[in-house]
């Protein structure tokens, strides 16, 4: 049995670890903070503060499933600890689970009836739930929805004589137009609605014809570049093109999902990628990420940004076009590229992915959900997702999938990495993330991968963030979520 003295030294050691974890958290070193809080919890798992603090660190890494688990532990340990409910409510909120969040903020208010901050957040949460109920009540069933794209005639939209921005002559998007548009965006000028409609509608036509899994052929001696999440960081996107050249027939790119949300220049990013797709379809390949969805865009800023810079019609149009994005790509029958990861069942073949009916909002389970949401784990087998959606898959799962489909490498994105990339699963899996200093606070580098045929050996290039105009990330996000940013 431990003596009183050894018990007190364990408690004080746990407190030291918590203090170190708090320092790491303040320095935005969230993974390090999680490790230190975990060590404190191992020594003393009856301290609700440790659980709630670790939950907060998980939230910062977008690991909302783990955050909910830890916050639940905090309130089980001490049912009167308001921060436990607060952290869990914030994590539910980030997942768009407003009704569950509301229950937790009601509990915070009960425990702290005189806390003005708790009252304010509860009121905002109540408003969000009311809005959700209203939207559900007036929603048209999916089967009866008419395509907004079919109702738009961009040619009938007048361009005012005083408009001096980038213009498309006729039906063809040219390099000259794209360069002028990029220059205008750089100077925070808007593109005329007529041309924005034209780009988005032409992109929709191109994407609709593609299968859910696209085969890419790179001729011998030619390069192909894969980029990860950009998340509305337009000025970092320009930097990628500065470092690696503009997209062209000879310099093709694949952007692997999560083009929008969080960063406050998401509209500029998506119009740029779509314009290159229109200019030369084989210069720009685009995959769907988990943020190319209505539910994410509603919370994380893209919907608000589009409404602010363009119109409600564009909100609907982008939601429609995002449902046309392919889910995966295979380069030269060797490299499998997908936004999230692998599957909860063995034996999935490329033909199964090609057969996915993708023209819908992402479901909460099944192959399409897993492609967009899953993450690798170091342990063998499969585990629950730290995000609360999808799953975690180990090196054996990666190896088996690659063997079953006669592939060499899995490339995915979806997770911020300090160096902009990470190689896992015995070198068979690479995560690439292309939004440096993510959300203006993570301090990470960005990365891209250049493959040269026929070897397709990954050549990873890293880069740092560049400055951008003083518009903060999440500037257009759901008002309630911004209160937690």
Domain edge (last residue) among 110, 138, 166: 138
pLDDT tens readout for residues 152-173 = 999 999 999 999 999 999 999 9
- pLDDT above 60 (res 3): no
Whole-number Å distance between alpha carbons of 51 and 467: 36
Domain edge (last residue) among 103, 138, 173: 138
Of 60-64, 251-255, 258-262, 322-326, least confident by mean pLDDT is 60-64
Residue with tokens 């990860």: 228
Coil/strand/helix, residue 340? coil
Q: What is the pLDDT of residue 195?
A: 98
Distance from the first to the final alpha carbon of the chain: 45
Count of domains forming the chain: 2
Q: What is the pLDDT of residue 121?
A: 80
Mean pLDDT computed over 427-450: 97
**The two three-digit tokens of residue 301, written as one number:** 């800023």
Coil/strand/helix, residue 332? coil
- Please report whether residue 382 resides in a domain: yes
Confidence class of residue 122 from pLDDT cuts 50, 70 and 90? confident
Q: What is the pLDDT of residue 391?
A: 96
Asked whether 318 and 384 are in contact (CB, 8 A), the reply is no
Contacts of 485 (CB under 8 A, 6+ apart): 473, 474, 477
- Please report whether residue 30 resides in a domain: yes
- Are 260 and 363 in the same domain? yes
- Are 221 and 171 in the same domain? yes
Q: What is the CATH number of the domain that holds 111?
A: 1.25.40.10
- Are 131 and 156 in the same domain? no
pLDDT tens readout for residues 38-67 = 999 999 999 999 999 999 999 999 999 999
Coil/strand/helix, residue 179? helix
Q: What is the pLDDT of residue 482?
A: 64
- Are 268 and 294 in the same domain? yes
- Are 240 and 307 in the same domain? yes
pLDDT tens readout for residues 178-194 = 999 999 999 999 999 99
**Which residue pairs from 78-83 have beta carbons closer than 8 angstroms and sit at least 24 positions apart in sequence?**
78/48, 80/111, 81/48, 81/49, 81/52, 82/107, 82/108, 82/111, 82/112, 82/115, 82/118, 83/48, 83/49, 83/52
Range of 275's domain? 149-482
Of 91-95, 349-353, 434-438, least confident by mean pLDDT is 91-95
Coil/strand/helix, residue 432? strand
- Please report whether residue 200 resides in a domain: yes
- Please report whether residue 309 resides in a domain: yes
- Are 108 and 157 in the same domain? no
pTM of the full structure: 0.94
Q: What is the pLDDT of residue 119?
A: 84
- Please report whether residue 143 resides in a domain: no
Whole-number Å distance between alpha carbons of 415 and 229: 8
Coil/strand/helix, residue 161? coil
**Helix orientation angle between 82-94 and 116-138, rounded to the nearest 10 degrees:** 30
Contacts of 167 (CB under 8 A, 6+ apart): 159, 177, 192, 195
Mean pLDDT computed over 438-461: 97
- pLDDT above 80 (res 105): yes
Mean pLDDT computed over 4-26: 90
Catalytic, out of 58, 231, 291, 425: 291
Of 70-79, 86-95, 400-409, least confident by mean pLDDT is 86-95
Helix (H), strand (E) at residue 23:
helix 4-26
- Please report whether residue 144 resides in a domain: no
pLDDT tens readout for residues 198-252 = 999 999 999 999 999 999 999 999 999 999 999 999 999 999 999 999 999 999 9
> CA dist 113 to 27, 110, 116, 118, 480, Å?
32, 5, 8, 8, 20
Mean pLDDT computed over 21-39: 96
Domain edge (last residue) among 114, 138, 162: 138
**The two three-digit tokens of residue 442, written as one number:** 């993570």
> CA dist 462 to 228, 231, 450, Å?
12, 17, 11
Among 267, 366, 371, which residue's Cα sits nearest to residue 326? 371
What is the average pLDDT score of the chain? 94
Share of the chain above pLDDT 90, in %: 87
- pLDDT above 60 (res 485): no
- Are 360 and 319 in the same domain? yes
Asked whether 269 and 235 are in contact (CB, 8 A), the reply is no
- Are 126 and 183 in the same domain? no
Confidence class of residue 5 from pLDDT cuts 50, 70 and 90? low
Of 92-106, 114-128, 184-198, 263-277, least confident by mean pLDDT is 114-128
pLDDT tens readout for residues 334-392 = 999 999 999 999 999 999 999 999 999 999 999 999 999 999 999 999 999 999 999 99
Whole-number Å distance between alpha carbons of 271 and 262: 16
- pLDDT above 70 (res 481): no
Confidence class of residue 123 from pLDDT cuts 50, 70 and 90? confident
Asked whether 435 and 416 are in contact (CB, 8 A), the reply is yes
> What's phi and psi for 426, nearest 5 deg?
55, 35
Whole-number Å distance between alpha carbons of 310 and 441: 28
Asked whether 451 and 432 are in contact (CB, 8 A), the reply is no
Contacts of 19 (CB under 8 A, 6+ apart): none
Asked whether 34 and 386 are in contact (CB, 8 A), the reply is no
Mean pLDDT computed over 114-133: 82
Q: What is the CATH number of the domain that holds 335?
A: 3.60.21.10
Residue-level length of the chain: 485
Whole-number Å distance between alpha carbons of 131 and 102: 13
Catalytic: 425? no
Whole-number Å distance between alpha carbons of 101 and 92: 5
Cα torsion for 178, 456, 463, 427, to the nearest 10°?
A: 140
- pLDDT above 70 (res 292): yes
- Are 134 and 155 in the same domain? no
């Amino acid at each position: 049995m431990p003596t009183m003295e050894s018990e007190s030294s364990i408690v004080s050691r746990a407190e030291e670890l918590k203090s170190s974890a708090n320092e790491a958290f303040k320095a935005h070193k969230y993974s390090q903070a999680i490790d230190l809080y975990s060590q404190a919890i191992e020594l003393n798992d009856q301290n609700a503060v440790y659980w709630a603090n670790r939950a907060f660190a998980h939230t910062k890494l977008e690991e909302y499933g783990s955050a909910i688990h830890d916050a639940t532990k905090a309130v089980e340990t001490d049912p009167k600890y308001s921060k436990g409910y607060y952290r869990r409510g914030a994590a539910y909120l980030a997942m768009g689970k407003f009704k569950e969040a509301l229950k937790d903020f009601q509990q915070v208010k009960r425990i702290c009836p005189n806390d003005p901050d708790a009252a304010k957040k509860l009121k905002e949460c109540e408003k969000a739930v009311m809005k959700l109920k209203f939207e559900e009540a007036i929603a048209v069933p999916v089967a009866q929805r008419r395509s907004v794209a079919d109702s738009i005639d961009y040619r009938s939209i007048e361009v005012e004589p005083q408009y001096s921005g980038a213009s498309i002559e006729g039906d063809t998007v040219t390099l000259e137009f794209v360069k002028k548009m990029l220059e205008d965006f750089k100077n925070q000028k808007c593109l005329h609605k007529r041309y924005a409609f034209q780009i988005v509608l032409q992109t929709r036509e191109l994407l609709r014809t593609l299968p859910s899994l696209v085969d890419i052929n790179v001729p011998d001696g030619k390069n192909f570049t894969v980029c990860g999440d950009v998340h509305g960081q337009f000025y970092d996107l320009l930097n990628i093109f500065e470092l690696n050249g503009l997209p062209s027939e000879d310099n093709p790119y694949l952007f692997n999902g999560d083009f929008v949300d969080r960063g406050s220049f998401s509209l500029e990013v998506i119009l740029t990628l779509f314009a290159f797709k229109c200019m030369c379809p084989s210069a720009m390949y685009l995959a769907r990420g988990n943020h190319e969805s209505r539910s994410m865009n509603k919370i994380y800023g893209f919907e608000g940004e589009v409404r602010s810079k363009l119109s409600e019609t564009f909100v609907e149009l982008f939601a429609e076009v995002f449902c046309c994005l392919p889910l995966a790509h295979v380069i030269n029958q060797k490299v499998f590229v997908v936004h999230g990861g692998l599957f909860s069942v063995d034996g999935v073949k490329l033909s199964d992915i090609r057969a996915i009916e993708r023209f819908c909002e992402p479901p909460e389970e099944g192959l399409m959900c897993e492609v967009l949401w899953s993450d690798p784990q170091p342990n063998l087998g499969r585990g629950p997702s730290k995000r609360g959606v999808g799953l975690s898959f180990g090196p054996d799962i990666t190896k088996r999938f690659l063997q079953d489909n006669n592939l060499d490498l899995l490339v995915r994105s979806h997770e911020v990495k300090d160096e902009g990339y990470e190689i896992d699963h015995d070198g068979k899996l690479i995560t690439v993330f292309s939004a440096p200093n993510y959300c203006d606070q993570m301090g990470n580098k960005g990365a891209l991968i250049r493959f040269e045929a026929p070897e397709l050996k990954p050549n990873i290039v890293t880069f740092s963030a560049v400055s951008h105009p003083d518009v903060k990330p999440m500037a257009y996000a759901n008002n309630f979520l911004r209160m937690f940013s």
